[in-house]
Structure 1
Amino acid sequence: MSCKRTFGHGLQKKRSIASASRNYLIGALAFLCSSSASVARAGDEMGVDEVSLKNGGTIRGTIVTVEPGSKVVITESGSKEPRTLAWAEVADVEKGKYEKKADNDAVEPGEAGPGYEAPIPEEEPAPSGPGVVRVHIESEEPVTLYERGATTVFGVGRYVAAVTQVRAVCESPCDKVIDGSRGQQFFIGGTDIPESSTFKLRDRTGDTNVDVSPGNRGQRTAGVWMTIIGATGVAAGAATLPLGFADLGSGEDDTLKIAGGVSLGAGAALLASGIAVFVTGRTAVELDTPPKRKADESASSAEHFAIDERPAEVRPRYWRGEF
């Protein structure tokens, strides 16, 4: 019976100690919270301004009035009545010295730049099949690759006209995959650059380089006029020269013969020069395929030449008549 009483008394004592400890912790936490709130409240009540005096002292509170050269009125911390200080006693006035400042170091997300507005460009598909090639244009001047479409013929009264549809495909250096598997015609053109002759991509695969030697539209125009004037001179000389030879037997001067010969010779020279100027002013185009890489060449060579993996024949080191 005494053992039970002793055990019960000890258990009750432990419960009392635990309860007291718990109450102590709760009280300590409450004290800390109230102290923090009191400190924060006290900091707000003390004011955010400060006046430094020439004697080395400072007064913290809320500044009411500042009159340079006259006085400073401040309500001190813990006082309801404002205090007036003569300007001769004041060394410095700092308004909002103890005011809580916002954290300006925080990084805020900015607006999206212009790069986010445009969609991500899609990757060019790889060339596949005959006529579907990636075209690269090599040219010293900016040029454009055009596709020539269908030609429509229509007539109005006694006149007939034909209109050919043309579509711009890409500008140099292009580097785009173009589908020419239908056998459509392409040509090169540009500003002040005459059109090239047409070509097709139907029989090509993979990458194709288009080497362009740009012509000159002004040179072509000059060649046309030189050709016309030269042909006119040749025609005039050819018509005048026989008349000069016909009048030669009548004893008259040979003016017509000389004029016809000069016109014929000058016209022929001008005609030949005009044709040369016109031809050299054209836009030349050459299609070629990039050379294969060494790895591709090695692979193709291995396909044509099989490697003999049989062991080499071992011959005896002596000759037959040795023994």
Structure 2
Amino acid sequence: MTVSRVLTGNGSVSEKTRKHVLKTIAALGYVPSAAARSMRSKDALRSVASSCFALIFGADTQNADEFFCDVARGAEKEAANFGLCPLHVHWQENFDKSFPRLQTILSINGMCGAILAGQFCKNDIEKIKKHAKNIVIIDSPVVGDAGIACVESDNLGGCKLALNHLVEQKCGRVLVITGPKTHYFSQSMREAAKNFNDKFKIIDVIESDYTTQGGRETILKQWNNGKSYDGIFSNDTMAIGAVNALSKLELKIPKQVKVIGFDNIIYGQYIAASLSTIDIDKARLGSEGVQTLVDMIRGNKEISQIKKVIPAKLIIRKSTI
């Protein structure tokens, strides 16, 4: 009975006894049976012997490792609070290449759902839904009427914060470097740029690929073609490449060109002119995703009621002031 109380956290046990029991359990290598716990529990999370969920990273996340590593850490930490274990899957270029591994994971006994991080097309979501009852998508907005829960970043609000900061810094000629035009973050950047058309003398939008090299090449190409700007906005990774190109062109930051990024990745703090950026609490994205999944399993909310938005915050550093 005493051991049971320690394992379940129910009932009164002295701290000395609790430590002794846990030490003995560790020495013996004992692992509690999820199935046995589920038979006794009235909690829906336990009554189905749930022990793990799939954490699936979209193909687009491969160019944003720094961002989604923090998302994963947030998910891991929150999952531990519920005794859950996330099983990581990285999406390939298409469903056919990804599904064999995904099918293996989703068929594991104790699998209670899936969290999708990044961009997924509606068809892929529909196929995943056939194998996972509870699905949450994080960072990306839900596509159409996919019928899944959503924890998204306020990407549009963050893009507006970035451009408004360039307005406040008296920029007149602004370049916005986006990723692929079909990507949800690129769409937010383009929409924000349209909203600021009348705030700048020039605001050009150029498509790139979210990489450091892409940001660097875009800047060099624009200047070599006779274009010049006094304000640049992109995600952090491309902004770091842009700063490198501006240095090669012997342009001073922020005196001649101000640069602002988006994502607040750690590397942005350590370039010569530390990068102003828009911060999204990445760990919170992951933790809210897990909390939402748990709410769905327990039946606390209908899927249609679950849409959370993580706010954006402006961080000002040396690249703009």
Q: TM-score, normalised by structure 1?
A: 0.18
Higher-Rg structure is 1
Greater RCO, CA 8 A, separation 6+: 2
More helix by share: 2
Task: State TM-score, norm by structure 2.
Answer: 0.18
Higher strand share: 1
